[in-house]
Structure 1
Amino acid sequence: MKQNYKLIPYIIAIPTIILICILINNNFKRNFEINNLSKLSRAEVTALFHEYDQARTKDPATGLVPENIRKQVLNFVSKIPVRNEYYFNNSSAKFGDYPEGDLKWENLGPDNIGGRTNCIQYDIENEDILLVGAASGGVWRSVDKGYSWTKTTSSNAIQNVYCIAQDIREGKTKTWYYGTGELLSTVDRRHILSARMSYPGDGIFKSIDNGATWEPIPSTQGSFAGNLKDNFQGVWKILPDNTILDEDVIYAACLGGILKSTDGGKTWVEILGDSNNKPFSTDIVMTDGGILFASMSRVSLNGVEPAYFGIFRSVDRGLSWDNITPADFPSNAKVIKLALTPNSNNMLYALVDYPNANGMNPYTFQASSLGLWKLANPDIKSKWKNVSVGLISPSEEVMTPATLGGYAFNIKVSPFDENTVFVMGTSLYKSSNGFDDNSQLEMIGGYYYDDGSIGYDLGSDYLHPDVHDIVFLESASKSVFSVSDGGVYFAQDITRPIPQWEQRNDGFITSQFYSIAVSKSDYKDFLIGGLQDNGTFCLRNKKISKTWEEVYGGDGMPVALSKDLDFGFVSWYSGNMVYFTLNPDTHEPENGYYASPNISNSNFNFYTVFQLNIFDNNSLFVAAKNKIYYQPDLKIIETDQNTYYNAWETNSQYTVSPDENFTCFAQTENYPDALFAGTNKGKLYLYDNISNNNKVVKYDISSINFPSNAWLSDIAFDEVNGIILVTFSNYNVVSIFASSDDGSTWESVAGNLEENTNGLGAGPSVRTIKVMKKAPIPTGKHPSGNDVLYFVGTDVGLFSTDNLNGINTIWYREGADDIGNVIVEDLDVVDDGTEFKIYVATQGSGVFGGEELIISVNDEIKLEEKLYQNYPNPADKSTKIMFTLQEAEMADLSLYNITGNKIRSICSGYMEAGDHTVRVNTSGLIPGAYFYTLKTKNSSITKKLIVK
């Protein structure tokens, strides 16, 4: 389904943003800023989002996001036990009991929508094998040219992949490398103020089995205490030297410089760069004869001009360099990309993005320009030719190339025609004359021009905008793969004026969700969620499919569903909302109505929150910065839009101070006719009598212990025990509070999610919180004594607890082998007695569902054979392994190395039914990856173990 239903009154075309179109009904005039809305470029959308994101995560005391905070948080939470480790440390709980909190996790897709993808390469020995790097979803591998995919990055490894490369020397082709760190990113764009932000990496990873498994290269990882490690926070390119056969030489273009290793990555030396004034971007290419060309940006992290800036050439493999920068090269180059003609190496291209102003901050949003130079016969010193004129749009049908400040930015030359050159930006461009002029400039992907409707738009058989990479198949000169913010695409014939692009995203689950909602009606198989850069999608039957269907385009933001699943809401930036109806039989979205309050879009925050009233299911509360607008009759929009738009109300009670903005809403059956609202100033308000706008009363139920000027990110309710919970998403603050007396008093329940009890340190950013009732068990009483589970979504995964115990609360990692450490932006639950499920919206791994099975008091509890993840992992001197046997039987637990050779038997023989725990001595093992396998007569189960 792709927007195949009626939208009334309709939406406006946004030329440089992923489509959403609202047209204004001729019989009704709205008073909102149509012109401003239509003029927002994609870059402006991103900049607005960053302002919102900075406020959510900055340290309120400094106004800044702490440096390297994600790496610090990952290190900190790695010490927090996973849910199953509860049983290692709590002798009163047994695996023979019903495993409370031990949810069954399932990834719900979307398996048909790709997320932001930075790089792609095929196996030189077998073009059917593809490896791609997702911006926040790790490395994925296909063995059938992209018709199916398998994730090969561990869920607990860092997920932000920027570049990938294969060692193509004979006998070495099973060796691959990928680099992490996206120095111009949108992954955390709900937390960073600047137009682009840095998503720091954790070095380089290596595979020796053709990309099936990966291990980090230790020399590129660490605490980033030194300059060398700082380089590997951002790896722009990895270049194995395929001309040297007796050494494993690798070049890495990194933040600050070019590094070289002669031993496969064990050790590195910087051969070009500036360790003090680090160039922001670097690149490197090499001729078949071993001559190196490298680029260094003028823009640096500290603003000071680096010691080396421009384009350099080395004929001695990096021992010395000549500066060959063109005389007319821009003095404020931000990102430089290099490309050589693949076979002849007789032409070098240098593509540069540089800000129109003189600002040197790489993350400050500024309009930028592109320049292109080429150097013939680069083996000898010759003169550059400025061919920037070839980038000028020749007609209205070709959008002027744009890169969003170097974010979507690359250049490649066809190996079959050295005059055919491709430039990647918001769209994909092709020149058939090497950009000597713009007469042969074509736009062949990204946006397309539709003269009959709204200008630049998207098409179902067109390459998704923001293009990052392209590869050419050796077996088919006209065929290419490309990756963009929409995933993986294939074109059979790139020479066509408008190539037909085919998505190869089935099973490539890398989409980035901002919101999720599940139906609470009798039909609970309907999900809807907002996705970054990919609109709003729904899953109409989660039991039989993981294929999601598009509801609306744009940047999908908050969503909502009615209790009876007869209507819902989707939204995008600056208060834009659509009310849509659903077919009662098929649950397919039908008519849509533009439903925002009748005020200017400038009155809304970029990310606008709203609350569908749970008490009457026909009214709505919308945050307009420091005000709340109330719509008393939603369904009238289907028959009388004039009455609907004129019915919006607000009052003085719904208004807070001008510098205070509403950040979240929540309601609960425990507080009838009430609305809870959080703000960016650390305040929590309770509004009573909300059904009568003239009698609304506001109560400030904030605590003096709440962090000042912090972003109150979510509100939840434990309706079983009468507890209110709130979360704060800033770093360096106490992040979770609870009240059991209607908000009169509050205590911190952040517990072990904080490095220090005062909130300072490497505690995660807590984005969302939900409470779910536990499924009933035969004994009628859960071992913990509590009938609910508390979940929090953070910037490093999902955590849960079933026992709030003040500052001593113990939180556990949930879905460590499934969800891993990806960002969790939103949660929703169903716990009405027929189902007990939680839904997890992630940035980079789609949506997960966690289910507790319902056990009748008449059911017999049957044990299943289980092998649990060892703890701790990675292991230092020893680690624990726990497993459960269904019956008394012969069993064997053994340890194997990565090649499959048995190291030793851990335990073997006849064992009783139930749970077993063994401690494994790892002090004599070489650091690296191992596997342990539990074998019985009925099964064989394997887990991975890492030794430090």
Structure 2
Amino acid sequence: MKKLRLQNYLLASVFLYVLVAIVWAVFPKQEKKEETVKLIQSKSEIEGREDLQSRSEYNQAMLADPKTGKVPVNIRAKELEFARSQKQRFVDIPTGTTESNATNFARATNALNWSHVGPGNFGGRTRAVGMDVRDENMLLAGGVSGGMWRSNNQGVTWVRSSTTEELQSVTALTQNVKPGQEDIWYYGTGELIGNSSRAPGAPFRGDGIFKSVDNGVTWKPLESTQTNSPGLFNSPFQYVWDITTNPNGTDDEILAAVYGGIVRSTDGGETWTTVLGNDLLSFPLDGDLNSVSAVFYTDIHRTADGVFIASLSSATNNTGVAAPDAGVYSSVDGVNWNLILNFAGTNTRRIELGSSPSSPEIIYALADQVIDYGLWRYNLNTFQSIRLSPNVPDGSNDIEAFDSQSSYNMMVSVHPTNPDVVYLGGTNLYRSTNAFSTRRDTQWIGGYDPEDDGISIYPDHHPDQHGVLFIPSDPNKMISFNDGGIFITDDNLAANVEYTPLNTGYVTTQFFTGVFSKFPSDDFVIGGTQDNGSLLTANTLFTTGSNGTRVIGGDGGFVATTPIGVFYYLSFQNSRIFRLTLNDDFELTSFARVDPTGGGSDPSQPYLFINPYVLDPNNANRMFLAGGDFLWRNRNLSQILTGSQATTSVNWTRLEETEINTGIISAVQVSTTPENIVYYGTSTGRVFKITNAHTDVYEVEEITADSFPTDGFIRSIAIDPTNADEVLVSFSNYGIPSIFRSTDGGDTFEDVSGSLEENPSGEGNGPSVRWVTIVPQNDGTKLYYAATSTGLYGTSTLDGQSTNWSIEGPDAIGNAVVNMIDYRRIDGKVVAATHGRGMFTSSITNVVPPEPINGSDGFELTNVYPNPFSDLVTINVNLPETNLLLIRIYDSAGNQIRSISGGLGFIGENDFFWDGTNTLGNPVQDGVYLIRITYQNESTVRRVILSRQ
């Protein structure tokens, strides 16, 4: 993907001009390739060291019903059922329908054609991978929010086997290995720890166990595991930790580790009995399991010789109440169990189990004990247990300490032919060649990279381990799966283990945000993802190859691009924002951290985990940032020097009049026609409007409507780019009306949620609305889009609570969670960013293009003010086109004391600032100074007086 010659010229010229200006070197005559730079990345961790606010807190605020403070239980199943009913309503429309409904139905059936762009080479969170015992090339894999996938070439390529309407939360997978029954597979659902859609105390639950009888080609739910009362937590099958089958039992015998204990079926899942732990199978349909103390974590493992090993945690759902039967158990028949490791009376959470086919009598148990980790080896023949806990990596010997992130990522596995080689997985992957008998001979072989102290990701691997599989024909070949998808190594015993990603076509990436680059020649999208950082994805079908590039790591946040390319703004969690330049291979060539010193500093009103900011569409050198309790503005981002990874005060102003006393600023947007109007919303349902937002004489007005839901979380605000008086405000919480519209600049608002709600009050099973946008067309019509937790919806007519929203791309996007939709005004290219299914793109025809930004007829120094100045002088320059601009400060003796610009000036008005300091940042003396401005070989000088008296 080549960029326009203009962008290449500008980007190359910036570096050339800066180097010449500061006399670093003389350029050689031959062409020189731009050098890449390295940015210290942030870690993406659940409740991790780098997070000031966990993902769960962010999702709790964004999704919880304000009336109850909780996310409705099992809302995923309920909202999908509601979405299906709405889709059927449109299918049944043609007879006896109203004209407006018929119009919407026609638009729905002739909706945009969506292309799945992936990216095709980055996987998402993967807890379950299985290998066909008859054919090691046949793999099945499940993404936690990406559904089931199938490969017949050992992961080289993948085909999706889940339909768009099936539950996508895959947490466990197993095959019936009994001869003649191998086409039978099962997968379990419901991630109790770590799901990014989960909120404390009210998670998105699973919906039981699914079964395939055609070797994973199609799947159907087991009715016996489905809840009959989706509004309640009343079934242990709503969380499935693990599944296995019994090759020595009936033809189709299953054991599952579910919430509360171990359950067993001898008839292929038609009926079940509890064989270990709490018997919750007959729990009342109108009951609530939250009110009953039960085992929280369970696991089930089958050894190579058919012995079952199970674990029950001492932790229950009731803080302070321990499970009396906590421990590790063995069974030869899956019915009768013997306690082999007793954890009663301990603070033990999750216990993971493993064994080796070469020594199946040796069992390993890895336990999260809250303040540390325990590891035990138990011999089923001699009944001897050995405590290996002191040898779990603890941060010594240059090996990062084992970290399960509160039981989220844990695994233990043993080499098939060498029982002394044991693998432990937490955030990182570790290998011991002496079975963790000592701390010696332990290597850090995956997750984060030990070569730079765990700052960046291990080459071609990823943090947060969930399991490994060994290739039967060569046990040294190993498949590893984690939050970055699926990877394989040809030598798991190598001193330096090398991996190859197996994510081609395995599109399970979880995007928080996504935009189309605003530079017309950039045919790519950029988005922030969970765990995978910020990804740049070519606008090509994911099946065409590796079309994605990770630009920065961490948990990716909001992104923004300029209409001229050159500068791309990407962020980590908690609003760590960077201005980047990239070469044609999308490698990083320069960076500058641009978020303000002091932003989000109030602990009671911090930055959001995924924190919004926006570039002014009228001046892409200007940014507005949600700073917790204040809105912040930067009027010249290009003045921030490159190379720093610290926050900056350069050109940032905290807009004091925007302060909110409670809640957090959660949405911000800037107008284009007319310019300089900013709308912002909060996590407590308030909306404000700023006029003259680009000046120091801005005015703030609260426009919160009486009809707005109390304490709702405003996730996005859309402004009609042709008329700033038309605004959409979307609330992302469940249980309240979702979308409000104003056509008079916020004087009045009308609920236009319409068919997105089950009830006019917003109560019921309507989806969470994550993003809204307005697309004006040249014929005077407009398209309105809503990105929701059950897909993307659109309409051409807003009619209050009678508005009909029709689903976009039902066979492409389907009911995937769509977190954002963004379109490019210059050509109508549009992207939908999903959480679990990657990116989808399309093109809207006949869109109203942006008005050209008009610059001056020639280079103009418009104003220098105030003059005299005491702390900050503003230099206003009007440019005919975007190009290099050099601004230098001289004292009265002609000595250069400061260069305040050596980069790009943007077409139109530009504000540059000097704070009366020299190159070292020290204040200069009061007196007369000369400001020399050079643009395209033209220079002008203006005198300014510094007087602090």
TM-score for both structures, normalised by structure 2: 0.78
CA contact (8 A) 1:132 1:139 kept: yes
Partner of 1:341: 356
Tell me the secondary structure at the aligned position of residue 193 of structure 2.
strand
Identity %: 32
Instruction: Give the letter aligned to residue 702 of structure 1.
Output: T
Q: Which moved more, 1:46-55 or 1:625-634?
A: 46-55
Change over 3 Å in CA distance of 1:463–1:590 after alignment to 2: closer
CA contact (8 A) 1:52 1:193 kept: no
- State the alpha-carbon separation in 1 of the partners of residues 507 and 396 from structure 2: 38
Count of aligned pairs between the two proteins: 792
Partner of 1:139: 148
Shift of 1:340: 3.0
Partner of 1:223: 228
Q: Deviations over 1:874-927 (max 9, x none)?
A: xxxxxxxxxxxxxxxxxxxxxxxxxxxxxxxxxxxxxxxxxxxxxxxxxxxxxx
User: Which residues of 2 match residues 175-190 of structure 1 at below 5 A?
Assistant: 175-188=184-197
Change over 3 Å in CA distance of 1:254–1:596 after alignment to 2: same
Shift of 1:391: 1.0
Give yes or no for the alignment of 1:241 onto 2:246. Answer: yes
- State the alpha-carbon separation in 1 of the partners of residues 622 and 466 from structure 2: 43
Return the match for 2:255 from 246, 251, 268: 251
**Structure 2: stretches of 5+ with no match in the other structure:** 2-32, 281-291, 848-949
Shift of 1:479: 0.6
Shift of 1:13: 6.0
Instruction: Give the letter aligned to residue 819 of structure 1.
Output: I
- State the alpha-carbon separation in 1 of the partners of residues 111 and 748 from structure 2: 32
CA contact (8 A) 1:160 1:199 kept: no
Partner of 1:277: 293
User: Which residues of 2 match residues 534-545 of structure 1 at below 5 A?
Assistant: 534-540=532-538, 542=540
Instruction: Give the letter aligned to residue 388 of structure 2.
Output: V
CA contact (8 A) 2:314 2:327 kept: yes
CA contact (8 A) 1:109 1:546 kept: no
Shift of 1:638: 5.5
Partner of 1:923: none
Return the match for 1:771 from 771, 774, 793: 774
Change over 3 Å in CA distance of 1:286–1:122 after alignment to 2: closer
CA contact (8 A) 2:713 2:732 kept: yes
Give yes or no for the alignment of 1:76 onto 2:82. Answer: yes
Partner of 1:799: 793
Tell me the secondary structure at the aligned position of residue 513 of structure 2.
strand
Partner of 2:390: 389
CA contact (8 A) 2:581 2:590 kept: yes
Q: Deviations over 1:384-439 (max 9, x none)?
A: 22121221448432212111111110111222122222111111112222222222
Return the match for 2:817 from 810, 820, 823: 823
Partner of 1:566: 566
Shift of 1:573: 2.4
Partner of 2:445: 444
Partner of 2:719: 717
Tell me the secondary structure at the aligned position of residue 481 of structure 2.
strand
- State the alpha-carbon separation in 2 of the partners of residues 345 and 734 from structure 1: 57
CA contact (8 A) 2:41 2:552 kept: no
Give yes or no for the alignment of 1:707 onto 2:709. Answer: yes
Give yes or no for the alignment of 1:305 onto 2:322. Answer: yes
CA contact (8 A) 1:259 1:272 kept: yes
Shift of 1:846: 0.5
CA contact (8 A) 1:463 1:501 kept: yes
Shift of 1:330: 6.4
Instruction: Give the letter aligned to residue 81 of structure 1.
Output: K
- State the alpha-carbon separation in 2 of the partners of residues 799 and 99 from structure 1: 9
Return the match for 1:533 from 507, 514, 531: 531
Q: Deviations over 1:334-360 (max 9, x none)?
A: 10112233244211222111212xxxx
Change over 3 Å in CA distance of 1:740–1:496 after alignment to 2: same
CA RMSD of aligned residues (A): 3.1
CA contact (8 A) 1:7 1:592 kept: no
Change over 3 Å in CA distance of 1:804–1:107 after alignment to 2: same
Instruction: Give the letter aligned to residue 482 of structure 1.
Output: S
Q: Deviations over 1:134-189 (max 9, x none)?
A: 11101111111111111111111111111111111111111111111111123326
TM-score for both structures, normalised by structure 1: 0.78
Partner of 1:45: 51
Tell me the secondary structure at the aligned position of residue 253 of structure 1.
strand
Instruction: Give the letter aligned to residue 426 of structure 2.
Output: G
Partner of 1:925: none
CA contact (8 A) 1:718 1:788 kept: no
CA contact (8 A) 2:118 2:537 kept: no
Instruction: Give the letter aligned to residue 838 of structure 2.
Output: G
Partner of 2:427: 426
Shift of 1:697: 0.2
User: Which residues of 2 match residues 170-209 of structure 1 at below 5 A?
Assistant: 170-188=179-197, 192=199, 198-209=203-214
Change over 3 Å in CA distance of 1:687–1:82 after alignment to 2: farther
Shift of 1:325: 2.8
User: Which residues of 2 match residues 313-712 of structure 1 at below 5 A?
Assistant: 313-318=330-335, 320-326=336-342, 331-356=346-371, 369-378=372-381, 382-393=383-394, 395-450=396-451, 454-458=452-456, 461-523=459-521, 525-540=523-538, 542=540, 547-581=547-581, 590-599=589-598, 602-603=601-602, 604-605=606-607, 606-637=609-640, 645-657=649-661, 659-693=662-696, 695-712=697-714
Partner of 1:836: 828
CA contact (8 A) 1:83 1:813 kept: no
- State the alpha-carbon separation in 2 of the partners of residues 46 and 80 from structure 1: 40
Partner of 1:293: 309
Shift of 1:315: 4.4
The higher radius of gyration belongs to 2
Q: Which moved more, 1:709-718 or 1:46-55?
A: 46-55
- State the alpha-carbon separation in 1 of the partners of residues 143 and 39 from structure 2: 31
Shift of 1:651: 3.5
- State the alpha-carbon separation in 1 of the partners of residues 507 and 692 from structure 2: 44
Q: Deviations over 1:535-572 (max 9, x none)?
A: 11213554887611222122110000112223221111
- State the alpha-carbon separation in 2 of the partners of residues 587 and 416 from structure 1: 43
User: Which residues of 2 match residues 730-769 of structure 1 at below 5 A?
Assistant: 730-769=733-772
Tell me the secondary structure at the aligned position of residue 566 of structure 1.
coil
- State the alpha-carbon separation in 1 of the partners of residues 699 and 103 from structure 2: 49
Shift of 1:736: 1.0
Change over 3 Å in CA distance of 1:234–1:707 after alignment to 2: same
Change over 3 Å in CA distance of 1:100–1:151 after alignment to 2: closer
Shift of 1:230: 1.4
Partner of 2:729: 726
- State the alpha-carbon separation in 2 of the partners of residues 654 and 792 from structure 1: 27
Shift of 1:644: 7.9
**Structure 1: stretches of 5+ with no match in the other structure:** 19-39, 357-368, 781-785, 856-948
Tell me the secondary structure at the aligned position of residue 79 of structure 1.
helix
Shift of 1:228: 9.9
Change over 3 Å in CA distance of 1:87–1:611 after alignment to 2: same
Shift of 1:519: 2.6
Change over 3 Å in CA distance of 1:811–1:394 after alignment to 2: closer
- State the alpha-carbon separation in 2 of the partners of residues 344 and 696 from structure 1: 74
- State the alpha-carbon separation in 2 of the partners of residues 99 and 393 from structure 1: 57
